[in-house]
Amino acid sequence: MTSSGLERIERDVVVVGAGPAGSTAARGIASAGRDVLLLDRAKFPRDKPCGGGVTIRCAELLPFDISPVVEHTVTGAEVRLGHLGRRVQREYDGVLTYMTQRRRLDHFLVERAQEAGAEFRDGVPVARVRKLPDSTFEVATRDQVIHARALVGADGANGIVANSLGFARPPEAAVALEGNIACPGGPPAWTQGRVVLQLGVMPGGYAWVFPKGDHINVGVGGWKAIAGPRLRPALERVCRDYGLDSSQLTNLRGHHLPIGRPGAPLTVGGAALVGDAGALLDPLSGEGIYAAIASGTAVAPAIEDYLAGRVQSLIGYELTVAREIVRDAAASKALMDIFHAWPDPWVWLLQHSERFWTRFCEVVRGDDGYDHLVHSFGPLILALGPMARAGRAWTSRQWGDER
């Protein structure tokens, strides 16, 4: 017992946050025989604001089948420019992504972590985190003080782990608003097997309609400084565009999307940030499940090496993330600046160019990366990059003048 009357326990590793990043990290670390405690402040199963798309490359990172929680398999897309653009449907000869709900996916991944030997406690908010003089960590909950040799922060962009250990807070560059419309008989026919993307409806973002098992997920997102106060009317307009009744939206939720800076630290001693806590996501699409699972996968062997005394820090994890996630995210950011400055030609290419559509699908699937796409169009990207940033500034001023 501690002086405050709290029970004190010892663990090899504490993972704070049981989303895809945290549960994947906990599973990997526990699989090596370590004593892992996985904590989450919410009671599971719980929902999270998220489109719920799991790409092929993401699913292939996992050593088990996720089909028990897949609600829809996507093989195509309907692409539209703005509110008045023509709706064009494209198909791909293969699977692009799987649709699930975070309520189901996260619970499923936690169960796999438990099967590997991790101890899971939900409904347990963390009150305090600190690094001790002996380089171990103290994690305090309402009932216990846990001492751990290593710590994983998987508790989101504003999580207590990052804030307590002095990591720089990532900028919240984008915001999104989404809700669900019930479809008891299944999603509408025009969404069957495809995602619906409405591009150019808001600076720095897009609107979407995603099919699920018994509902559709409808959302809109964009640059925080411009889009924030316009999200609700934009979402209602998108519903009208597709003949949906916005009054039927349920579980309406907004969320912020942090975009990390290349080279920003992800570790200190035996502590590491994964997923959203490390601002790891795809800037162009706003998708974060792949980076969450990829970073959770990468941190596990690094922590095992650290605990075994083979290394003195988790810098190996940072190098892996830089190579496998951050480099591609930087390329995605370059494309984002260009695309959102002038969406019209890119949407036209998606709608009409078989070659461009195929390359886009390969990137979505994970068969190719943004960095390869940027290198393929290297001279064009270098030429358009400064112009895109200027275009973004002009767009910001124009939208600001309309307020």
Query: What would the pLDDT profile of 177-201 be if each residue is shown by its tens digit?
Result: 999 999 998 999 999 999 999 998 8
Domain boundary among 269, 304, 328: 328
Same domain flag for 251 and 264: no
What is the DSSP annotation of 148-198? EEEEEE-S-TT-HHHHHTTPPPPPEEEEEEEEEEE-TT-S-GGGTTEEEEE
Same domain flag for 204 and 86: yes
User: What are the angstrom distances between the C-alpha of 333 and each of 26, 283, 348, 381, 393?
Assistant: 30, 5, 21, 11, 15
Domain boundary among 225, 258, 291: 258
CA angle 237, 238, 242 (to 5 degrees): 115
The answer to whether residue 398 scores a pLDDT higher than 50 is no
Same domain flag for 136 and 12: yes
pLDDT reported for residue 2: 61
- Is 62 a member of any domain? no
Same domain flag for 165 and 272: yes
DSSP state, residue 352: H
Position 286 confidence tier, pLDDT thresholds 50, 70, 90? confident
Same domain flag for 254 and 265: no
Same domain flag for 291 and 267: yes
What is the C-alpha to C-alpha distance for residues 360 and 369, in angstroms, rounded to an integer?
10
H or E element: which one contains 89? strand 88-91
Dihedral angle over CA of 157, 158, 159, 165, nearest 10: 100
How many structural domains compose the chain? 3
pLDDT reported for residue 162: 95
What is the C-alpha to C-alpha distance for residues 335 and 374, in angstroms, rounded to an integer?
8
372 forms beta bridges with none
Same domain flag for 94 and 222: yes
pLDDT reported for residue 396: 47
Report the SS3 class of residue 382: helix
CATH number at residue 208: 3.30.9.10
The Cα diameter of the chain in Å comes to 69
Same domain flag for 37 and 124: yes
Domain boundary among 227, 258, 289: 258
Same domain flag for 246 and 343: no
- Is 149 a member of any domain? yes
Q: What residues make up the domain containing 364?
A: 330-402
The answer to whether residue 228 scores a pLDDT higher than 60 is yes
Same domain flag for 35 and 123: yes
- Is 2 a member of any domain? no
Same domain flag for 340 and 378: yes
Same domain flag for 228 and 270: no
What is the C-alpha to C-alpha distance for residues 243 and 238, in angstroms, rounded to an integer?
9
In this predicted model, what pLDDT tens digit does every residue of 128-137 receive, in sequence order? 999 999 999 9
The answer to whether residue 72 scores a pLDDT higher than 60 is yes
The answer to whether residue 401 scores a pLDDT higher than 50 is no
In this predicted model, what pLDDT tens digit does every residue of 73-101 receive, in sequence order? 999 999 999 888 899 999 999 999 999 99
Q: What is the pTM of this model?
A: 0.90
